[in-house]
Amino acid sequence: MSSEYVELIQSLQLGGYIALSCFALAVYELAITLADEIRIVWRGKRNVMSILCAANRWLLLLPVINGLVGALYTSQLSLPL
């Protein structure tokens, strides 16, 4: 196998690991602040600000999931379970 292919495969695999790390960090951030979100946003009065706050937090996952799926599809990253 030529060195160009090896470098390409390594860079795709690295991209997959970076995408997985971003996903894990986003989920961790959501998990550690979920109690505060429930107390402040969901149990409070519904208004535009509470809806924007919730949308901002949960829509954060969409580009991260998109990057993870793209990295998995592109590099066929095998994740140990």
DSSP string, 54-66: HHHHHHTHHHHHH
- Answer whether residue 74 shows pLDDT above 80: no
Region 19-30: what's the mean pLDDT? Answer: 85
pTM: 0.63
The pLDDT of residue 75 is 57
Distances (CA, A) of 48 to 21, 24, 43, 55, 77: 32, 29, 14, 10, 41
Is residue 57 one of the residues assigned to a domain? Answer: yes
The pLDDT of residue 81 is 44
Domain that holds residue 66: 3-71
The pLDDT of residue 32 is 94
Q: What radius of gyration do the chain's Cα atoms show? A: 18
Distances (CA, A) of 26 to 4, 8, 14: 33, 27, 18
What is the tally of structural domains in the chain?
A: 1
